[in-house]
Amino acid sequence: MRKLLCLGLFLLTTTLSAAEKPNILFIAIDDQNDWIGCLGGHPLAKTPNIDKIGKAGTIFLNAHCQSPLCNPSRTSLMTGKRPSTTGVYGLAPWFRQVPQWKDVTSLPQHLKANGYHTYSTGKIYHGGYGRRKTDNEFETLGPAAGVGARPKEKLVKTPAPHPLVDWGVFPHEDKDKQDYVVASWAVDQIEKGPKDPFFLSVGFFLPHVPCYTTQKWYDMYPDDDSVLPPVKFDDRKDTPRFSWYLHWKLPEPRLQFLQEANEWHNLCRSYLACTSFVDHQIGRIMTALDAKGLRDNTIIVLWSDHGWHIGEKEITGKNTLWDDGTRVPLIFAGPGITAGGKVTSPAELLDIYPTLNELCGLSPVEGLEGHSLVPQLKDQNAMRKWPAITTHNRGNHGIRTENYRYIHYADGSEELYDLENDPKEWNNVAAEPGYAKIIAEHRKWLPKIDVDPVPGSAHRILTLKNGQVNWEGKDVAPTDPIPEID
C-alpha cells in the first residue's frame, strides 16, 4: 500500500493536467551577444526590461550556443541535438529536408502533443524555415521576421557588399521596424487571451545586421571610445591559422576596416541602440502579460542564438569558438524558478528543451542531448558536471567549463584560455606545459559523434579532407593570404 501511495504521488508531481500546465513565453533575440545590463558584457548597455526578467528569475551567466551561426544553432535548440549529430552546419539545408531528421520531434511539436497551443511570430527557426504551408511546426503564425524600414541606399560601404551588412541611423520611426510589428502581434495575442496552456514564441531580428536604428535609441549612447569593447590589437598572433578558416571570407568586415573607415564607434552605437530597442519591445510584451494576469502561470525563457564580435579578435560577426561568438543571454523566470538566481556553471541552449520538459511535467523525449537546468533554477549553486560545447563545422569544437575555454580545430591545433586570469581570452596557453592536464580533461568532452555536413549543406561550410582545407566550395592553400588582413 505504501509503495502504491508513493507511486501515486510521483505520478502527480511529474504529470500535469492541461489546466495545471504553465504557459510558456519563448523570446529569441538574433545575434545578441552579452551586451545586456544583467550580463555585464558592456558597461553602457541599457536593457531595463530584460534586467527585470532576470531579477524575477534565474540568469545563466555562463550560457553558450551550440553553433555560432543561425540555422545550426536554432536547429540544435529546437530538436535537442548537437550540430555534430545532425550534420547541419550551414545556413542550408532546413533539417526537415534531411531524410534522417525530417520526422524528428521538435520542441513546439512536443508541446503541441502534450496539449499546448503553439503560436509563433518573427524569427524562431532560421529565415522562413518552419513557416511554409507544408511545415507543421506551429499552429498559429504571426508576422515573419524582417528588417522593416530601410534607407534608399546602404549607409556604409563595406569591403564585401551585402545588403544586410549595414548599420547606422536614418529618419524613420520605431513602428516602421518589423520587430515592432512582431511585438505588436504578440501583444495582441496576449490581450485576446490565447488558448490555455499556450506556447508563444516571439523572435526578434535585431540587433542582427542591418543594425538600423532610430535617432532616440542612437542618442542613448555616446560617440566616444566608451562604446568600444576592450581589444588587444595583436590578439591573433597566438591563435592557429586554422582559426581564420572558420570565418575565412565573409560579408562581415574585419576590425581593420572599422578603424580605417572610422566606423567602429558607429557600429557599436548602432548595435547597442538596436539592443535597447529590442529590450523596449520585450517590455511591451511583458506589460501585456502582466495586464492580463498571466505572469504567475507563465514560464518566460529568453535566449539568443549566438554571440557577435564587434572588433574582438580583429573581426566582426559570429562564426567563432571564443566567448564573444558563443556566449548568449539565457534567462528563465516563472513558476518553479528561483528569483534573483545567478548561475556561473556552464549551460547550453541545448538544455532548454529538456528543462521545459521537466518544468511543464511533460512526457519524456528520447534522444535529447542536453540536460535539464531545473536543479540550477532551484539552487544557483547546484553542481553541474557538463561543460558547454560549441561546434562550427565538423571537427571544430569549443569546450567551455567554469574557468577555462578549450578549442580543438579540425587539423588538431588547439587553444586554451585560463579565464580566471584572462577573462578576455587574450593569451592562448595551450602550449604551456603546466596546462597539459587541463587540456587532457577538456579533450574528454569532445563530441564522440562528429558527422560530415549533410547533403545540400551551403553557406559558411568548412571542410578538411586529406589535409586540404575547403571554404565555401573553394580550396584554400596554407600560403594563401588571409582576406582583408594580409
Give the catalytic positions in this structure. 70, 126
Which residues does residue 400 pair with via DSSP β-bridges, in sequence order? 388, 405
Which of 61, 104, 98 minimizes the C-alpha distance to 80? 104
Q: Which amino acid is at 364?
A: P
Cβ atoms of 386 and 401 within 8 Å: the answer is: no
Q: What angle do CA 161, 164, 169 make, to 5 degrees?
A: 105
Radius of gyration of the chain (CA): 22
Kindly provide the residue ranges of all beta strands, DSSP E only, lying in 209-275, ordered along the sequence.
211-213
- The string of DSSP codes covering 143-188 is EEP--BS--SS-SS--SS--TTS-EEE-S--GGGBHHHHHHHHHHH
Which is it for the CA torsion 299, 300, 305, 308, positive or negative?
Answer: negative
* Backbone φ, ψ for residue 460 (5° rounding): 75, 35
Cell numbers for 350, please give them. Answer: 541545448
Spatial separation of the C-alpha atoms in residues 187 and 446, rounded to whole Å: 43
Question: 412 Cβ partners below 8 Å, 6+ apart?
Answer: none
Cis check for the bond before 43: say yes or no (omega within 30 of 0): no
Which residue do the cell numbers 529590450 mark? 279
Cβ atoms of 58 and 329 within 8 Å: the answer is: no
Report the b/e string of 191-225 with b at 16+ CB within 10 A.
eeebbebbbbbbbbbbbbbbbbbbeebbeebeeee
Cell numbers for 353, please give them. Answer: 528543451
Cβ atoms of 60 and 373 within 8 Å: the answer is: yes
**Per-residue CA distances from 329 to 80, 228, 390 (Å):** 18, 20, 15
